[in-house]
Amino acid sequence: MKLEQALEEYEKKRKRAEKEVEKIRKKYNKRLEKKIREVLKKIDALEKKEVPKKVDDNIRKIVTAEKKNYVTALRNALSSIDDMDELGKRLPDLAKLHVGHGKYLLIIFEKDVYAINRLLKELNEDYVSYYNELSKKGLPDLRLKEILREEEETREHIQQIEREKQELERKLEAKREELNELYSRHGLRELEEDIKSLSSSLRSAEMEVRSKASKLQKPIKRMRLHEPIADELIKDSGVALRKPDELISLLQRIYPRLEGKYKKTAQWLVENLKEKSEAIRRDKERLSELEKKRDEIIARGEAKKKEMWELKRLIEEREAEIRKLRRQLEHLEKELKDGLAKLEEILGQKVER
């Protein structure tokens, strides 16, 4: 049987079942009304009864208080019961009253309390019968039409969010291309390669000079010259780059006192330090210029990067929403599957979507 036809057949059955259920409700509600009147009569009768005179005064006071509390509580509980469904909600309260009366009240008015409790027990039994009959006659609300509609709406919503995500991804790619074009137009990649190459050669040149200068630290220290430039060299070989003229002057004065390899090192520094330090200074200036230019190019791209970050955030939001909707769709599909199984059980035949 096709789903549409099955749903029509199910609705017919449900309407017929609802009529049967309404008959059951009316029957039990009428019985309930009669039972409650009986209980109230028993309560009124109990309320009017006096405690026998032969009963001890202390017990009399206790029984009088227990009777008043019992009668009031029962009336309050019964006053809010208009139909069987309301009775089902109030059964726990009635059950407490069924066993919650005082022991002295039961001793003095045993017959009356038992009569009331018997009627309360019958109310409970009636509700059980009412519930069982409803379960047999009534049909569950499978809400298959609602589930199908929600399922379709959810699929459409997923498609809409996916389209939004694709549009955001297109904008993100366009921004990425704009950023790359900006970097390319200003030669950022070549600039970064130049910076890397120049930085490497600078490190090598500085290391060469510092290495040469450091070889003279020990012999100069042993000379105990007590000159500022000598003391600085002993502490830091980098002084050769900061004060090349002063160091050359020092080396020229102490050159005769140096021996072997130290003499050769000093000679190399005297001959080359001025030129090397000047070249290093020029390269540092050049490096600073290149880095400044690179930073300016990158700064121009920051606005586009911020736009890209915002687009990425929006894409992530859409992805999270899609995951949520797909979980919702899975839940609806399971609910629909369970509902169709119940529908097939009710109709007694296979249903095709």
* pLDDT above 60 for 100: no
In the prediction, which pLDDT does 138 show?
63
pLDDT category at 101 given cuts 50, 70, 90 is low
Average pLDDT score over residue span 192-196? 94
Of residues 285 and 15, which shows the higher confidence score?
285
Taking the chain, what is the end-to-end CA distance rounded to the nearest angstrom? 9
How much of the chain, in percent, has pLDDT values that exceed 90?
50
At 109, is the secondary structure helix, strand, or coil? coil
pLDDT category at 311 given cuts 50, 70, 90 is very high
Chain position carrying tokens 């060469």: 208
Helix 84-100 to helix 110-137 angle (10° resolution) is 150
Helix 57-79 to helix 84-100 angle (10° resolution) is 170
Question: Is the overall model pTM greater than 0.75, yes or no?
Answer: no
78 and 39 Cβ atoms separated by less than 8 Å: yes
287 and 279 Cβ atoms separated by less than 8 Å: no
Can you list the pairs that 75-80 forms with residues at least 24 positions away whose Cβ atoms lie under 8 Å? Answer: 75/40, 75/43, 78/36, 78/39, 78/40
In the prediction, which pLDDT does 278 show?
93
Chain position carrying tokens 């899975």: 330
303 and 214 Cβ atoms separated by less than 8 Å: no
In the prediction, which pLDDT does 14 show?
78
Comparing CA positions, the residue from 75, 82, 128 lying closest to residue 97 is: 75
* pLDDT above 70 for 159: yes
175 and 304 Cβ atoms separated by less than 8 Å: yes
Using one digit for the tens of pLDDT, what is the confidence trace for 112-150? 888 988 998 899 999 999 888 887 776 667 788 888 899
pLDDT category at 205 given cuts 50, 70, 90 is very high
